[in-house]
């Protein structure tokens, strides 16, 4: 995968190379048709004024008609080919992004924010792929420029030279303006993102604002950002209006100057009236094309930025070491804290003064992060990761994707799905969705309440029937009677396998086969709940007497 923006662009262009070349060739042919127009018109004018009849001009009139038909046809054919190449590239980039996400797993999580992910898959993708078209169109303009200067040269070498040099000077003049415009645009875009971000907060935060009456303050802050955006826009407008003025005028000034030279020649009888017209016509067309070239240059700058962002996305790597081959057997051990989870040991409740330390220990033995954790005697990193994932499941604040309730639960059949819901006391998830397993759970479970999401996650974990279920967040958002039912259901449903729950709730402790007590980030003691309850410190930690 390329890591430099130019490499990225080549990587996008390469699979479409045949199409691209064909499109460019057609566009070059089209430029010849376009640039013939002034010459044909000149021939018609000269022959009509000299012979005072249309007969001599007839072949040129036919040529003019042919150009009128062929020009647009060539354009649309080339346009279509390049647009298809661009579209294919866009679709391909999405597919490769999807593949990459699959490959690097959790690697992108900390590196790429949600907002960036949206930009990468839409705007950046489009801008980078658009280069296929832009480059093709650029080739058209370059060819038209060369052809135009050549035709002028044939009329009068000095006129050709003057046009060529003039266009080149205008180009160098536009360069710095373009650069300044780009800087202003970047600033403008950043401020737009800021204002949009603030506005986006309303949808999520309106209820909060209503609750505490923060509307006026919010509005004041928004108005400030909005005015700042306006002022940034003013500055952008300054740069942009210069560019528009220059690209809309300088080429025409050149056209006027070159026509002036031609007219003086005509007065002396060196050029015909038709040739003066042709000189003017070429310059007009080139002036129009210069506007296109500026557009291409702008898009090129943006495409490079996008290509750079895409290449850094594709440069993300899987944080876990390469996969091993072995299959684990025995207990899961985290040497760092001394946590040992035996195979088939029923329900273990982890009581911890610091929830995060216990969670991190579970993440290590579930091989979510690289560590010295072992399965039996073998380190997890030397084992087949697929086997670990199949047999050890860490339940945390898992993501709920947009799919049907049945799909969310991933159970073997409907009976198993409903059983899992029942065990997790998540019947209300089912009923609130119209008692239909085909009802859709929104992205991130947005159509469920926080408590419902938590219980649905638990149900999904139960339905997966892993040998080891390590639950970091099981029942923090449910009420006491429900928690009691869940504790009872889970301990019965998973009898004979291994379940670990982090909780200091007596409702879980009563159901536990074994209790592990974390203190100061390390395992302090392990045993049955009755054994540990001998210790007054432990009793204080688990008793809720306020």
Q: Decide if residue 305 touches another protein (CB under 8 A).
A: no
Q: Rule CB under 8 A: which of 213-272 touch another protein?
A: 213-223, 226-227, 229-230, 233-234, 236-238, 240-242, 244-246, 248-250, 252-253, 255-257, 259-260, 263-264, 266-268
Instruction: Give, in order, the Cα–Cα distances in Å from 466 to each of 121, 241, 471.
Output: 34, 65, 12
Q: Rule CB under 8 A: which of 324-353 touch another protein?
A: 353
Cα–Cα distance, 457 to 493 (Å, whole number): 16
Query: Is 110 or 172 the residue whose CB approaches another protein more closely?
Result: 110
The 8-class DSSP code of residue 321 comes to P
Query: Is 322 or 545 the residue whose CB approaches another protein more closely?
Result: 545
Counting Cα atoms < 13 Å in the Cβ hemisphere of 173 gives 16
Which residue in the set 301, 315, 418, 437 belongs to the binding site for another protein (CB under 8 A)? Answer: 418
Cα–Cα distance, 339 to 456 (Å, whole number): 28
> At closest approach, how far in Å is the CB of 356 from another protein?
9
Which residue in the set 22, 75, 513, 519 belongs to the binding site for another protein (CB under 8 A)? Answer: 75
> At closest approach, how far in Å is the CB of 10 from another protein?
21
> At closest approach, how far in Å is the CB of 2 from another protein?
20
**Phi, psi torsion values for 341, nearest 5 degrees:** -120, 110
Number of amino acids touching another protein (CB under 8 A):
179
Stretch touching another protein by CB under 8 A, among 17-25, 336-344, 371-379, 470-478: 470-478
> At closest approach, how far in Å is the CB of 517 from another protein?
13
Radius of gyration of the chain (CA): 36
> At closest approach, how far in Å is the CB of 114 from another protein?
5
> Measuring CA to CA, which residue among 536, 535, 544 is closest to residue 508?
544
Q: Decide if residue 284 touches another protein (CB under 8 A).
A: yes
Query: Is 169 or 227 the residue whose CB approaches another protein more closely?
Result: 227
Cα–Cα distance, 297 to 540 (Å, whole number): 70
* x/- map, 481-510, another protein, by CB under 8 A: xx-xx------------------xxxx-xx
Q: What angle do CA 236, 240, 241 make, to 5 degrees?
A: 115
Those residues with Cβ within 8 angstroms of residue 45's Cβ, 6 or more apart along the chain or in another chain: 273, 274, 277
* x/- map, 43-62, another protein, by CB under 8 A: -xx--xx--xxx--x---x-
Neighbours of 71 (CB within 10 A): 18
Write out the H or E segment, with its range, that includes residue 349. Answer: strand 346-352
C-beta of residue 274 within 8 angstroms of C-beta of residue 46: yes
Tell me the three-class secondary structure of 173-217, residue by residue. Answer: HHHHHHHHHHHHHHHHHHHHHHHHHHHHHHHHHHHHHHHHCCHHH
Strand partners, 519: 522
The 8-class DSSP code of residue 326 comes to B
Stretch touching another protein by CB under 8 A, among 37-45, 156-164, 300-308, 489-497: 37-45
C-beta of residue 81 within 8 angstroms of C-beta of residue 23: yes
Q: Decide if residue 206 touches another protein (CB under 8 A).
A: yes
Which residue in the set 431, 436, 492, 537 belongs to the binding site for another protein (CB under 8 A)? Answer: 431
Cα–Cα distance, 83 to 70 (Å, whole number): 20
Three-state DSSP state, 98: helix
Counting Cα atoms < 13 Å in the Cβ hemisphere of 331 gives 11
Those residues with Cβ within 8 angstroms of residue 391's Cβ, 6 or more apart along the chain or in another chain: 328, 466, 467, 468
Which residue in the set 380, 393, 424, 474 belongs to the binding site for another protein (CB under 8 A)? Answer: 393
Stretch touching another protein by CB under 8 A, among 188-196, 299-307, 336-344, 516-524: 188-196
> At closest approach, how far in Å is the CB of 242 from another protein?
6
C-beta of residue 167 within 8 angstroms of C-beta of residue 322: no
Q: Rule CB under 8 A: which of 434-453 touch another protein?
A: 435, 442-444, 446-447, 450-451
Write out the H or E segment, with its range, that includes residue 515. Answer: strand 514-519
Query: Is 4 or 227 the residue whose CB approaches another protein more closely?
Result: 227
> At closest approach, how far in Å is the CB of 401 from another protein?
5
C-beta of residue 499 within 8 angstroms of C-beta of residue 471: yes
* x/- map, 89-118, another protein, by CB under 8 A: -xxx-xx-xxx-xx--xxxxx--xxxx-xx
Q: Rule CB under 8 A: which of 124-183 touch another protein?
A: 126
Query: Is 6 or 528 the residue whose CB approaches another protein more closely?
Result: 528
Q: What angle do CA 225, 230, 235 make, to 5 degrees?
A: 125
Three-state DSSP state, 348: strand
Q: Rule CB under 8 A: which of 518-537 touch another protein?
A: 529-530, 533
Query: Is 82 or 523 the residue whose CB approaches another protein more closely?
Result: 82
Which residue in the set 128, 152, 276, 456 belongs to the binding site for another protein (CB under 8 A)? Answer: 276
Q: Decide if residue 430 touches another protein (CB under 8 A).
A: yes
Query: Is 4 or 450 the residue whose CB approaches another protein more closely?
Result: 450
Q: Decide if residue 467 touches another protein (CB under 8 A).
A: no
Q: Rule CB under 8 A: which of 350-369 touch another protein?
A: 353, 355, 366, 368
Strand partners, 394: 470
Query: Is 337 or 352 the residue whose CB approaches another protein more closely?
Result: 352
Query: Is 6 or 537 the residue whose CB approaches another protein more closely?
Result: 537
C-beta of residue 303 within 8 angstroms of C-beta of residue 134: yes
Q: Decide if residue 186 touches another protein (CB under 8 A).
A: no
Which residue in the set 390, 412, 492, 537 belongs to the binding site for another protein (CB under 8 A)? Answer: 390
Write out the H or E segment, with its range, that includes residue 425. Answer: none
Helix axes 480-493, 450-463, angle to 10 degrees: 10
Stretch touching another protein by CB under 8 A, among 18-26, 174-182, 376-384, 397-405: 397-405
Stretch touching another protein by CB under 8 A, among 7-15, 336-344, 386-394, 492-500: 386-394
């Amino acid at each position: 995968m390329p890591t430099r923006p130019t490499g990225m662009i080549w990587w996008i262009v390469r699979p479409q190379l045949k199409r691209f070349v064909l499109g460019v060739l057609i566009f070059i042919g089209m430029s010849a048709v376009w640039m013939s127009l002034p010459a044909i018109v000149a021939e018609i004018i000269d022959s009509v004024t000299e012979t005072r009849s249309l007969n001599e001009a007839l072949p040129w009139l036919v040529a003019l008609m042919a150009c009128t038909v062929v020009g647009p046809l060539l354009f649309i054919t080339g346009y279509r080919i390049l647009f298809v190449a661009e579209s294919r590239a866009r679709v391909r980039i999405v597919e490769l992004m999807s593949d990459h996400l699959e490959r690097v797993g959790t690697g992108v999580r900390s590196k790429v924010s949600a907002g960036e992910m949206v930009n990468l898959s839409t705007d950046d993708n489009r801008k980078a792929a658009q280069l296929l078209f832009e480059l093709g169109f650029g080739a058209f303009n370059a060819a038209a420029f060369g052809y135009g200067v050549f035709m002028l040269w044939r009329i009068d070498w000095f006129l050709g030279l003057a046009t060529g040099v003039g266009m080149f000077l205008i180009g160098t003049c536009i360069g710095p303006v373009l650069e300044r415009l780009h800087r202003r645009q970047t600033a403008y875009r950043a401020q737009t993102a800021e204002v949009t971000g603030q506005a986006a907060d309303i949808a999520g935060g309106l209820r909060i604002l209503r609750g505490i009456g923060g509307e006026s303050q919010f509005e004041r802050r928004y108005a400030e950002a909005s005015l700042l955006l306006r002022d940034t826009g003013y500055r952008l407008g300054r740069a942009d209006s210069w560019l528009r003025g220059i690209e809309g005028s300088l080429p025409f000034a050149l056209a006027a100057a070159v026509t002036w030279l031609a007219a003086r020649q005509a007065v002396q009888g060196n050029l015909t009236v038709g040739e003066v017209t042709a000189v003017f016509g070429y310059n007009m067309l080139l002036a129009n094309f210069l506007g296109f070239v500026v557009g291409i240059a702008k898009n090129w700058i943006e495409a490079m930025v996008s290509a750079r962002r895409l290449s850094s996305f594709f440069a993300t790597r899987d944080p876990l070491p390469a996969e091993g081959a072995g299959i684990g057997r025995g207990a899961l051990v985290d040497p760092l804290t001394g946590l040992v989870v035996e195979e088939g040991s029923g329900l273990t409740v982890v009581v911890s003064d610091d929830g995060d330390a216990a969670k991190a220990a579970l993440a290590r033995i579930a091989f979510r992060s690289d560590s010295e954790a072992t399965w039996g005697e073998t380190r997890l990193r030397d084992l087949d990761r697929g086997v670990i994932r199949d047999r050890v499941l860490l339940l945390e604040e898992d993501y709920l994707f947009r799919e049907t309730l049945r799909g969310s639960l991933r159970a073997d059949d409907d009976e198993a799905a409903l059983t899992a819901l029942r065990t997790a006391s998540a019947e209300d998830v089912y009923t609130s969705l119209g008692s239909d397993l085909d009802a859709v759970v929104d992205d991130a479970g947005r159509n469920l309440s926080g408590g419902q999401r938590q219980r649905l996650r638990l149900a999904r974990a139960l339905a997966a029937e892993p040998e080891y279920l390590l639950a970091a967040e099981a029942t923090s958002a449910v009420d006491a009677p429900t928690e009691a039912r869940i504790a009872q259901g889970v301990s019965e449903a998973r009898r004979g396998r291994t379940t670990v729950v982090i909780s200091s709730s007596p409702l879980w402790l009563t159901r536990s086969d074994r209790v592990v007590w974390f203190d100061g980030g390390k395992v302090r003691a392990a045993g049955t709940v009755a054994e540990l309850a001998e210790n007054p410190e432990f009793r204080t930690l688990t008793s809720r007497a306020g």
